[in-house]
Structure 1
Amino acid sequence: MSSLTTSPAGAPRATPRPSGGGLPGAVAAEWTKLWSLRSTWYFLLVAAAVMAVTAGCIGTVSHDPAASVARPATLATVYGVEFVVAALAMLSVTGEYATGSITNTLQCVPNRARMLVAKSITLGGVAFGAGIVLAAIGVAAGGAAMDAGVFEMSYVAGQVLAIAVHLALLSVLTVGLAAIVRSSAGAITALFLLLLIVPMILQSIPADFFTDLAQFLPQAAGAQFMADEAELYGPVAGLLILVAWAAAFLTAATVVLRRRDA
């Protein structure tokens, strides 16, 4: 069959091909779905409020008035908002399973790996942008609480970027975890265990092996990455470990989704 059709004037013209599709189309669909939900805006507003309050409280008690240059303690505040941002990523997956819309999603994007990558790109990108804004809010709130007019700008810029990257990778990890667990309650419980409970249990065991093992879990790796000074294995290694955790969960989710499907 010829791909040319004839116009009323008799001149041949090419049959238009459908646009979109592939990974860019899948990302565009995930982007549209995410921002069409009111819950997305609620989560981001809650995260902003938590960051402002936490940064203000920490800034009040941690500032050294004798210091000539102030350092807002924004890294300490990220732990107050990371679960809010992670919950947003989680619901992008578990919400579809709860409503049954995951079937439509997989019909539109049959390639399971592509669907998960599209969700990860979308949620990771949103978390990165939100992290920049949230960290800036933390700097402003912490600075106001400290009544400090001079910041060490290179330090502040590094903190802001580190927070944004940390939240982005945590969101990707959460997308993979949620695709494996598939329920909101189960996913948030598993994330809470992975980030907080398991490290505490390992560190409480009187054996060096378990204490060292806890330092390579996602929360500890993120803390090493965001630290302004090399402590255990340094920021670069912390970033690589965090990337490895996110990639591992995303790979496992792809395998599970292919075997168990929707």
Structure 2
Amino acid sequence: MTVTAESTTVVLDPRRNVPGARQGFGHTLRAEWIKFWTVRSTPWSFAALFALGAGLTVLVCATSAEWLASSEADESPGSFVTWGMMFAQITAIVLGTLAVTSEYGTGMIRATLAATPRRGAVLAAKAAVLAGTLFVAGVVTAVVGFLGGNWFLDREGIGLALTDDGVLRSMLGSGLYLAGLGLFAAAVGILVRHTAAALSVVLALVFVVGNMAFLLPGTWGEWTAKLLPGNAGSEVTTPVSFNPELLAPWTGFAVFSAEVLALLVVGWLAFQRRDA
């Protein structure tokens, strides 16, 4: 009796997950999405963003509506309907920083780059997840804050409609600005690779340097203040600015976007050349 061994050919489908096969950008994006939401600070940060952005807007409108309707008011109601977004900036900065530095702190970045050696794809996926979630959160927070705060303004006869000049732009702009600010913080995080250092740099630049720059003398001081990231970008988040001397909303946002892009390019170059 003769036994004949039969060979079996296994055909691997390149469209499926094959060990050692090169993964596409979709896999990288999904991996970054999972990592982003499995960090315990992420849900809490978004909760804080909503509480600060929407909650403070409603609170300020509730306490200021009567004054805004009086003859003593020297501010427009349009300056208050997204008031809380100036504090929601803090959580966007925190999220952007932690999206990068948390991996360096735990050493997870080495596993990430081992799984996906294409560093450009990793950085692009991180940026897409961060910017996308912050944009949606920013728009939702701004709309909820507007609806809640405007209810108190309506009771005093000074409410705004979504179709009023600058209102819809400020809703969209809130999402765009928070997304850009998160990317700005992430780029700083890539450069310094340390959470506390990155947070200190970005928070100081936006909240301290941005305000202190108005004390600089002359035309150069005026333009320095106008062009700083926080001052240039934040104008798009409010229907009526508290400071009419700043750049026009979309002009300022264009300047801010260019600054974010430039810093991301520098961060990308550093990310490509440095060891994890």
Given the two structures, how large is their TM-score scaled by the length of structure 1?
0.85
1:16 matched to 2:3? The reply is no
1:134 matched to 2:150? The reply is no
Amino acid at match of 2:137: A
1:163 matched to 2:193? The reply is no
Superposed counterparts of 1:65-80, under 5 Å:
65=69, 71=78, 73-80=80-87
Partner of 1:241: 255
Contact 1:119 1:175 in 2 (8 A): no
Q: Deviations over 1:18-62 (max 9, x none)?
A: 447333222111111112233211111112222233112320344
Superposed counterparts of 1:154-233, under 5 Å:
154-155=163-164, 156-228=167-239, 232-233=246-247
Distance 2:171 2:50 in 1: 14
- Aligned residues: percent identity? 27
Q: Deviations over 1:102-126 (max 9, x none)?
A: 1111112222222112111110000
Contact 2:81 2:150 in 1 (8 A): no
Tell me: CA distance 1:224–1:231, structure 2 relative to 1, closer, same or farther (3 Å): farther
**Larger displacement relative to structure 2 (243-252 or 54-63):** 54-63
Distance 2:25 2:254 in 1: 25
Partner of 2:153: 146
Tell me: CA distance 1:163–1:103, structure 2 relative to 1, closer, same or farther (3 Å): same
Q: Deviations over 1:101-152 (max 9, x none)?
A: 0111111222222211211111000000111221122113313443548531
Distance 1:228 1:142 in 2: 14
Distance 1:28 1:113 in 2: 15
Q: Secondary structure of 2:69's match?
A: coil
CA RMSD of aligned residues (A): 2.8
Larger Rg: 2
Distance 2:221 2:245 in 1: 18
Misfit runs of 4+, over 3 Å = 64-67, 144-151, 226-233
Amino acid at match of 1:15: L
Task: State the Cα distance separating 1:75 from its structure 2 match.
Answer: 3.1
Task: State the Cα distance separating 1:65 from its structure 2 match.
Answer: 3.4
Match of 1:116 among 120, 123, 126: 123
Q: Secondary structure of 2:250's match?
A: helix
Q: Would you say how many aligned residue pairs link Structure 1 and Structure 2?
A: 253
Distance 1:74 1:111 in 2: 44
Amino acid at match of 1:234: A
1:100 matched to 2:97? The reply is no
Given the two structures, how large is their TM-score scaled by the length of structure 2?
0.81
Q: Secondary structure of 1:154's match?
A: coil
Q: Deviations over 1:59-98 (max 9, x none)?
A: 034433379xx75723322111111122112111111111
